[in-house]
C-alpha cells in the first residue's frame, strides 16, 4: 500500500491471513480469505466516510450487499477511533475487510499503542458509545498488535439468512 489519500490494494495470498495472530480472538476465523480489501488513508475526519463508502461498494461487489448497512456502522465506529488515535501522530490509518460467504471481519488499523477501552457514556455525552455500538452489532470483536500497528476488529455473519439487527 502506498499513498496517504486513499490507496486501495487487493490482498495477495500472503496477506489473506497476515497480521492476525492465532490468539487474537479472531484466530479461529482467520484462514485464506476468498475476499480481501485494504484501504490506507490519512488520519483525517474524511477518512471515515471514505472507508464507509469503500466498504459498501466492496460488499456489494462481493455479493454481500445485504450486510452493507450494519458493516458501514461498524466501519464508522472503528475508523473514527483509529482516526482519533492517529490524528496527533500524523500516521495513516488502514481499513481491511476479510470475508467469505459466512463471515466478515472488519479491521481498523492505527499506530497508537493504547488498546481500545469501552466506556460508559453519560446521556449528554457526544461521544464514548462507539465500542458499545460495535459490541451490539458484531458477533464478537477485539484487538491485536502486529509490529507497530494495532488492529481493532469486529466480526459479522454474512450468510444469506442474515437479517441485520
The count of C-alpha atoms lying within 13 angstroms of the C-alpha of 115, restricted to the half-sphere facing its C-beta, is 8
pLDDT at 70 over 90: yes
Q: Is this prediction's pTM over 0.85? A: no
Helical packing angle, 46-61 and 68-86, nearest 10°: 150
pLDDT at 90: 82
Mean pLDDT of 78-98: 91
The DSSP bridge partners found for residue 95 are: 39, 108
Unique residue bearing C-alpha cell 492465532: 22
pLDDT at 28: 42
pLDDT at 85 over 60: yes
pLDDT at 118: 63
Per CATH, the number for 7-157 is: 3.30.565.10
Cβ proximity of 140 and 25 under 8 Å: yes
Q: Which residue has the higher pLDDT, 57 or 158?
A: 57
pLDDT at 114: 87
Name the E strands within 20-164: 35-41, 93-99, 103-110, 140-146, 149-157
Q: How many CB atoms lie within 10 A of CB 37?
A: 21
Report pLDDT digits (tens) over 15-51. 444 445 444 445 444 467 899 999 999 999 899 999 9
Confidence of residue 9 (pLDDT cuts 50, 70, 90): low
pLDDT at 116: 82
pLDDT at 161: 52
User: What b/e sequence results for 82-93 when a residue is b if at least 16 CB atoms lie within 10 Å of its CB, and e otherwise?
Assistant: bbbbbbeeebbb
Which cell numbers hold the place of 95? 481499513
pLDDT at 76 over 60: yes
Kind of pairing, strands 149-157 and 103-110?
antiparallel
Report pLDDT digits (tens) over 97-149. 999 879 999 999 999 988 887 666 555 545 555 678 888 899 999 999 999 99
Query: What is the distance between the alpha carbons of residues 82 and 48, in angstroms, rounded to a whole number?
Result: 9
Amino acid at each position: 500500500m502506498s499513498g496517504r489519500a486513499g490507496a486501495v490494494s487487493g490482498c495477495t495470498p500472503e496477506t489473506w491471513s497476515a497480521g492476525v495472530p492465532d490468539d487474537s480472538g479472531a484466530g479461529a476465523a482467520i484462514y485464506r480469505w476468498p475476499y480481501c480489501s485494504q484501504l490506507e488513508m490519512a488520519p483525517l475526519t474524511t477518512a471515515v466516510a471514505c472507508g464507509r463508502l469503500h466498504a459498501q461498494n466492496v460488499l456489494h461487489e462481493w455479493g454481500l450487499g445485504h450486510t452493507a448497512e450494519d458493516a458501514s456502522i461498524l466501519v464508522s465506529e472503528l475508523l473514527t477511533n483509529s482516526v482519533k488515535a492517529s490524528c496527533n501522530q500524523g500516521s495513516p490509518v488502514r481499513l481491511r475487510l476479510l470475508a467469505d460467504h459466512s463471515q466478515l471481519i472488519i479491521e481498523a488499523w492505527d499506530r497508537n499503542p493504547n488498546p481500545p477501552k469501552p466506556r460508559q457514556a453519560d446521556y449528554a455525552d457526544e461521544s464514548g458509545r462507539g465500542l458499545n455500538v460495535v459490541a451490539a452489532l458484531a458477533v464478537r470483536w477485539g484487538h491485536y498488535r502486529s509490529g507497530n500497528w494495532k488492529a481493532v476488529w469486529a466480526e459479522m455473519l454474512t450468510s444469506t439468512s442474515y437479517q441485520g439487527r
